[in-house]
């Protein structure tokens, strides 16, 4: 097993096994249950804290991956406005892009999950930089101090991309594109940018296989992701 741990302040960075392959950086923070923040504990029970923040205009709804068929359903809760702003600033400082974020769990089991990416990919140092900058901005914040853990990672290898530019670093690899009419194009990625993608697909039987290039405009793409091949 490959394992790497580096400690900075209250953060511990852990990278191990398959997690390393996905450049996943998990940052765990140990919180004391005896901390007091001058706010009724009941405010943090269940969804009440999130609904309260949202109703008062202090929170954004969760930053979901969107598809034309609707919003992806998961257990991500509402992210407070000032937390999102701090995350965006931390990502800018680390020269990466924010892809997805959310808060999961309740009360003292809340976890802040942040997904980042860049045209050159994500390394452990990128995750560390985002976490360090976030800690510097929010170390005295009451809501942030209630979090059990903060996870910063790159998207999974086969996670559908949110932006087509995320595919640009995968030119030459196999991708799967689902069109808005539900048809699928799977083949070698030749080009990817905000206007669309070019994919080399194989047609016909194995004996009479032919390759053709399909150009798919962004407006016709429902979902796009890379495909792992052995």
Residue range 188-215, pLDDT digits in tens: 999 999 999 999 999 877 777 789 999 9
- Cβ atoms within 10 Å, residue 24: 20
Residue 159 falls within a domain, yes or no? no
Record the tokens describing residue 16, joined without a space: 């191990």
Which residues on neighbouring strands pair with residue 214, listed in sequence order? 199
Of 26-35, 61-70, 221-230, which has the strongest mean pLDDT? Answer: 221-230
pTM of the model: 0.66
Least confident span in 3-7, 166-170, 219-223: 3-7
Are 31 and 145 in the same domain? Answer: yes
Condensed to tens digits (0 to 9), the pLDDT of residues 143-182 reads: 888 888 999 999 988 899 999 999 999 999 999 999 999 9
How many residues does this entry show for the chain? 230
117 and 58 both lie in a single domain:
yes
Residue 121 neighbours by CB under 8 Å, 6+ apart = 23, 154, 169
The Cα 128–Cα 152 span in angstroms is 8
181 and 104 share a domain? Answer: no
207 is in which domain, residue-wise? 164-226
Last residue of a domain, one of 91, 122, 153: 153
pLDDT of residue 52: 53
Q: Into how many domains does the chain fold?
A: 2
- Asked whether residue 19 falls in the same domain as residue 56, the answer is yes
Q: Tell me: the pLDDT tens digits for 97-144? A: 999 998 888 766 888 999 999 999 999 999 999 999 999 999 889 888
185 in a structural domain:
yes
CA atoms within 13 A on the CB side of 198: 7
φ and ψ at 135, to 5 degrees?
Answer: -60, -40
What is the Cα–Cα distance from 4 to 122, expressed in whole angstroms? 16
78 within a domain of the structure (yes/no) = yes
> What confidence tens digit (pLDDT) does each residue in 40-85 have?
333 334 344 444 544 554 444 443 333 332 223 333 467 888 999 9
Question: In the Cβ-directed half-sphere of 194, how many Cα atoms lie within 13 Å?
Answer: 0
| In a shared domain, residues 143 and 189 | no
Based on the fold, state whether residues 190 and 138 are members of the same structural domain. Answer: no
Cα gap 209→122, rounded to integer Å = 36
226 pLDDT band, cuts 50/70/90, is very high
CA torsion sign for 51, 56, 60, 66 is positive
Q: What string of DSSP letters covers 140-187? A: T-HHHHT-SEEEEEPPPTTSPPSSGGGGGGGTTSEEEEEETTS-EEEE
């Amino acid at each position: 097993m490959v394992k790497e741990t580096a400690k900075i302040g209250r953060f511990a960075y852990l990278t191990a096994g398959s997690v390393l392959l996905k450049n996943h950086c998990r940052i765990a923070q140990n919180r004391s249950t005896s901390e007091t923040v001058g706010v009724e504990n009941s405010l943090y029970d269940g969804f009440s804290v999130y609904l309260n923040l949202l109703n008062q205009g202090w929170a954004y709804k969760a930053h979901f991956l969107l598809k034309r068929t609707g919003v992806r359903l998961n257990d991500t809760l509402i992210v407070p406005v000032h937390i999102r702003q701090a995350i965006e600033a931390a990502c800018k400082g680390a020269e990466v892009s924010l892809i997805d974020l959310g808060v999961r769990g309740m009360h003292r089991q809340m976890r802040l999950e942040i997904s980042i990416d860049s045209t050159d990919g994500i390394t452990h140092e990128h995750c560390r930089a985002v976490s360090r900058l976030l800690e510097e901005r929010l170390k005295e914040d009451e809501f942030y101090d209630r979090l059990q853990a903060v996870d910063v990672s790159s998207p999974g290898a086969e996670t559908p991309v949110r932006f087509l530019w995320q595919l640009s670093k995968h030119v030459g690899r196999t991708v799967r594109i689902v069109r808005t009419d539900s048809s699928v194009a799977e083949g070698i990625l030749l080009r990817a940018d905000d206007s669309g993608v070019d994919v080399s697909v194989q047609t016909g039987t194995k004996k009479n296989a032919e390759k053709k290039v399909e150009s798919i405009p962004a407006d016709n793409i429902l979902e796009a992701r890379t495909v792992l091949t052995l």
